[in-house]
Structure 1
């Protein structure tokens, strides 16, 4: 194992989308216990610096793999697929229409101060996101269809952003 290992290898986990959170947590704690800089306080400067690098890499791995969207993006990118997320915003027309309808509903509820409707939209979107993560898992782990997985991940990025907008709208109403 070296500092250039992928995050799954670093944590001793299979390279899969479906990960047990408890396993991820346990592997992370185990690695942190071995490389935490506090264990190297009395070590020479070079060893302390390496320990800091290991701890930083372990934290990056954990943060990436515990977040489903980040984990999906990471898996697709590890397989050599560039999502071009910042530049490729082309989506199927039906998905874009759905996005527009969601955003209009959020805007209307926000303007009307309708907390109940925003909660309802948030709940519906969470269910949609969860179902789409199941699709992503199937594309990545079962079918190993990187093309379908990358499209699903790109869509999920839109939905996660919309979920944040709803959360922001809810918070704004609570203030």
Structure 2
């Protein structure tokens, strides 16, 4: 089942999240297993499966990176594992620089300022890649899909960095 079709949406990256949520609630009301409490065990099983499918579709479509990855999968693009190495040497170098920036926060004189600076860098670079991804996904060519695939992987890296920064900030606050 195509998640976009399930929700009656166009297969495009930009979607109305409020509309998605409304459709999700409607679909869940129709398929929720509690509505089938007195039905046969087969009907109950089908309701559970349908409810799970609706949940999976909703979680995928509401998350921009999961939605992008899903769109690429629908286009037949093989998403390499996150452990697969990038051919983009400049991005690999940037990853090392950003990891160093993160590691240096612990030793900064003003950790609040260092955390803020790192957050701004991560957010700015994430937004630049995200904007590129949006453009790439509107153009369904082999080259654009390959670039979008690389950008999804890069954006996941920035998300992980932000999570690490948040954990570091929490740890420093606890000290």
TM-score, normalising length from structure 2? 0.89
What's 1:133 paired with?
130
What's 1:29 paired with?
25
Could you say what secondary structure the match of 2:28 adopts? helix
- The question of 1:167 aligning with 2:166 is answered yes
The answer on whether the counterparts of 1:18 and 1:141 sit within 8 Å (CA) in structure 2 is no
What's 1:77 paired with?
73
Distance (whole Å) between structure 2 residues aligned to residue 46 and residue 150 of structure 1:
40
Could you say what secondary structure the match of 1:161 adopts? helix
Deviation string for 1:115-148 (max 9, x for gaps)? 3311321133123212322211110124552122
The answer on whether the counterparts of 1:32 and 1:58 sit within 8 Å (CA) in structure 2 is yes
Deviation string for 1:83-126 (max 9, x for gaps)? 21234222412212221111111100034471331132113312
Distance (whole Å) between structure 1 residues aligned to residue 58 and residue 26 of structure 2:
12
Distance (whole Å) between structure 1 residues aligned to residue 14 and residue 81 of structure 2:
22
The answer on whether the counterparts of 2:82 and 2:153 sit within 8 Å (CA) in structure 1 is no
Per the alignment, do residues 110 and 19 of structure 1 end up closer, same or farther by CA in structure 2, a change over 3 Å counting? farther
Shift of 1:63: 0.8
After alignment, is 156-165 or 57-66 more displaced?
A: 156-165
The answer on whether the counterparts of 2:86 and 2:92 sit within 8 Å (CA) in structure 1 is no
Paired residue for 2:121, among 119, 124, 146?
124
Structure 2: segments with no counterpart, 5+ residues: none
Distance (whole Å) between structure 2 residues aligned to residue 124 and residue 164 of structure 1:
14
- The question of 1:52 aligning with 2:41 is answered no
Deviation string for 1:140-169 (max 9, x for gaps)? 124552122112112112222212211111
After alignment, is 152-161 or 137-146 more displaced?
A: 137-146
After alignment, is 143-152 or 162-171 more displaced?
A: 143-152
What is the Cα-based RMSD across aligned positions, in Å? 1.7
Paired residue for 2:95, among 99, 120, 133?
99
Distance (whole Å) between structure 2 residues aligned to residue 91 and residue 21 of structure 1:
34
Could you say what secondary structure the match of 1:14 adopts? coil
Structure 1: segments with no counterpart, 5+ residues: none
Shift of 1:74: 1.1
